[in-house]
Structure 1
Amino acid sequence: MLGPFHRGGRPKPMGEINVVPFIDVMLVLLVIFMITAPMLTQGVQVDLPQVTSEPIDNNEERDPIVISVDRDGQYYISLSGDETAVSLDEVSQRVIILLQRQPGTPVMVRGDRHVPYGQVVTLMSTLQAAGVSNVGLISEPPPGDS
């Protein structure tokens, strides 16, 4: 016997899409990207000196130009994550071009701790000749120092 609310026949197909599974997938992807994004900002392997210092207040909205010197003395120039191996002469030329396009862009130097001091000073002198007035030096905090 059928109840008073039974209309008979097959149930009508539902005209709505259930979006709950899509929301679950999106939240899982969001968490995955939040965890992996900081890991993707790797560049040239540079063993930075470890010193206690105050971080630079970077109120600039622009990404800095980062010039790295690796253990072998090879120079790399990086802007917005794009890293290119260059010679010392090319460093000067590229920095001049980048500063003409975006004046006031901060310039940072990452020097491996095993690179001779003279090579870093030569790089800084080259940057000064290219029109860079302030150069920041990148270091790592010592272990256990927060």
Structure 2
Amino acid sequence: MIELPKRHRHVIDAQINIVPYIDVMLVLLVIFMMTTPIIEQGIEIDLPSTEAKMVDFTQQQPTIITIDKQGKYFINSFNEDDSDIAKGEKLPLGIIAGRVSARLEIYPQMKVFVRGDRQVAYGSVVSLMSFLQKNGVDKIGIVTESPDAK
């Protein structure tokens, strides 16, 4: 009788090789770490520093009006969703006063703050505050930076 050769079964390795996945994850981690600081948007201003109390914004979102170095006005400029900031459009005082007045009708207890760059003329900040007071805003705060933050 003729003996047939025996077939050898190959051993199957049923484990997933995760080394390529780890490599991809590390590359993605490096990409996100490099692009996150670049993504920061908004208006770059150098706030004056002072010793002042902190304001709690947990109850309601305040209205913040920013004056940059060039004297341009922005409303709620800290927020990336504001379409005026995305376009870089300068807002005149009339539009800012109208928006603040509309928000005050909806939220009568809303806080209004002014963020003025350190290099902007003091008169610009005072004229903005005066204009807002003439248009129905009773209390206006000024945003500063603590000396420890630098």
Q: Same fold (TM over 0.5)?
A: yes
4+ runs deviating over 3 angstroms: 36-42
Structure with greater proportional strand content: 1
Q: For 1:86, what is the secondary structure of its paired residue?
A: coil
Letter in 2 for 1:108: F
Q: Is the counterpart of residue 51 in structure 1 residue 50 in structure 2?
A: yes
Q: Percent identity, aligned pairs only?
A: 39
Letter in 2 for 1:51: T
Q: Deviations over 1:26-81 (max 9, x none)?
A: xxxxxxx9xx999966421111112222212335233x111000001111111754
Letter in 2 for 1:122: S
Conserved 8 A contact 2:68-2:117? yes
- Residue 103 of structure 1 is matched in structure 2 by 108
Structure with greater proportional helix content: 2
- Residue 77 of structure 1 is matched in structure 2 by 75
Question: What is the TM-score of this pair, normalised by structure 1?
Answer: 0.65
Distance 1:117 1:95, change over 3 A: same
CA distance in 1, matches of 2:59, 2:38: 23
Q: Is the counterpart of residue 129 in structure 1 residue 105 in structure 2?
A: no
Deviation (angstroms), 1:128: 0.9
For structure 1, the 5+ residue unaligned runs are 1-32
Conserved 8 A contact 1:74-1:85? yes
Q: Is the counterpart of residue 89 in structure 1 residue 94 in structure 2?
A: yes
